[in-house]
């Protein structure tokens, strides 16, 4: 799952706009730039915009110069893409609008993006895509923080080590590294002063219900009680040996709690609305 449309904006010239230009009237880029302008971080002033869209070669050059970093974000790009069928139908009829829909659908499948395209032209996030976006945003947000970057790297390495020898010891190490990362994420919240994950959960104020908070605290309690995972533990509490089934379930659960533990995660960007 590659992720966002913004990440593959540079590929749209070849995959999307080029095929459209071969079938559309010569003023295609005038309409494309007119529709894209509101999604730009720094849209041109009205006189400059009018001058551009009244000159097809200038409009083509202006449109082709737009880079992903010039756009306001994923939501703005979605608005542009979803609004194009009406523009294209008026410009070149339903055949052109349908060509655009099919090319956009092919683009999503070619790059394994985290959207499903539905008629007339609505892009819906998928669950695997949202999870991939969460991980991508977590990595990006930790990259400029020395401690978080190191702990995320340690967790990644511990997870990869399981490929060669998925022993119970390595499973414990992987879960330990993940909990270390979660504690560091929570500790990075501006108002959190505690260090242990259970205490961090008590200081976080944006839980929707205490049972959600308690669920993470119970999972943390498991990592403390299970012998050799974080501490000597309580041997009498063990019901069975840890296996890959447990690793997958627990890793996914812990990752799912990261939006509560980090102010660096933007949930609206991961799951953009209409």
Give the model confidence (pLDDT) of 209-221 as tens digits.
999 999 999 999 9
Q: Is the pLDDT of residue 2 over 60?
A: no
Give mean pLDDT, residues 186-207. 95
- 33 close to 138: Cβ distance less than 8 angstroms: no
Cβ neighbours around 50 below 10 Å, total: 12
Mean pLDDT over 241-253 rounds to 96
Say if residue 153 is exposed, middle or buried (CB neighbours under 10 Å; 0-12, 13-18, 19+).
Answer: middle
Q: Quote the tokens at residue 192.
A: 């959190």
The mean per-residue pLDDT over the stretch 81-96 comes to 96
**Mean of all residue pLDDT scores within the chain:** 93
Contact between residue 251 and residue 159 where contact means Cβ atoms under 8 Å apart? yes
- CB-count burial class (<10 Å; 0-12, 13-18, 19+) for 128: exposed
Q: How far is 267 from 196, CA to CA, in rounded Å?
A: 25
**Residue 266, pLDDT above cutoff 50:** yes
- Give the Cβ contact number of residue 2 at 10 Å: 15
Residue 63 has pLDDT above 60, yes or no: yes
pLDDT in tens, 217-240: 999 999 999 999 988 999 999 999
């Amino acid at each position: 799952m590659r992720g966002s449309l913004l990440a593959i904006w540079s590929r749209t010239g070849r995959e999307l706009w080029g095929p459209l230009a071969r079938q559309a009237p010569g003023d295609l880029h005038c309409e494309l730039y007119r529709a894209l302008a509101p999604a730009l971080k720094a849209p041109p002033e009205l006189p400059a915009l009018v001058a551009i869209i009244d000159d097809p070669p200038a409009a083509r050059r202006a449109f082709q110069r737009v880079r992903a970093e010039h756009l306001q974000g994923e939501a703005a790009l979605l608005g542009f893409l979803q609004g194009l069928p009406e523009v294209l139908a008026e410009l070149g009829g339903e055949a052109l609008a349908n060509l655009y829909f099919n090319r956009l659908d092919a683009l999503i499948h070619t790059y394994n993006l985290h959207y499903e395209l539905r008629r007339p032209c609505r892009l819906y996030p998928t669950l695997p895509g949202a999870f991939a976006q969460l991980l991508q945003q977590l990595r990006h947000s930790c990259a400029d923080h020395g401690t978080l970057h190191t702990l995320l790297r340690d967790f990644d390495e511990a997870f990869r080590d399981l490929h060669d020898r998925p022993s119970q010891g390595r499973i414990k190490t992987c879960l330990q590294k993940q909990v270390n990362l979660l504690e560091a994420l929570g500790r990075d919240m501006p108002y959190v002063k505690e260090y242990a994950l259970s205490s961090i959960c008590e200081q976080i104020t944006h839980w929707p219900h205490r049972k959600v908070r308690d669920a993470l605290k119970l999972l943390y309690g498991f990592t403390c009680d299970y012998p050799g995972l974080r501490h000597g533990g309580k041997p009498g509490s063990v019901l069975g040996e840890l296996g890959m089934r447990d690793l997958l379930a627990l890793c996914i659960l812990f990752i799912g709690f990261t939006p509560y533990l980090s102010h660096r995660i933007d949930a609206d960007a991961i799951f953009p609305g209409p």
